[in-house]
Amino acid sequence: MSDSIIFAQQMEEWAVIDEGLCELVDRLRAAGYRHTLEAELRLTGIGDDPGRWDFTMFLPEFREKGIVTVVDTAHGDRVLHSSTHRC
C-alpha cells in the first residue's frame, strides 16, 4: 500500500477527532471561555521527507476555530506546520 493511500485513510480517521474538537470549542465558548484552543499533533514515523505531506489537511474544521500545530517528534520536535504562521 502506498504512503499516499495510507495518509488518505489516516485523514479519514482524523475526521472524528476534528468533529470532537469543534464540539469542545463550541461548548467552551457557550460556557464563556474566550481563549483559543490549540491542538498539537506530535507525529512519529512520517519519514525523512515531511515536505511531501499537506499538513493543512489535518483538522480542517477545527483550524477555523482554533490552532493546529504539527510536530515531528522523530527529528527533535521540529514544527512542520502551524495554522498561525508558516514554517
The type of residue at 82 is S
3-state secondary structure of 32: coil
Q: In what order do the strands lie in the sheet with 78-82?
A: 38-43, 67-72, 78-82
Cell of 54: 499537506
In terms of C-beta density within 10 A (0-12 exposed, 13-18 middle, 19 or more buried), how is residue 87 classed? exposed
Q: What digits encode the pLDDT tens for the residues 18-77?
A: 999 999 999 999 999 999 999 998 887 766 676 677 888 889 999 999 999 999 888 788
More confident residue, 2 or 40: 40
Cell of 17: 477527532
Q: Where are the domains of the chain?
A: 3-82
pLDDT at 87: 42
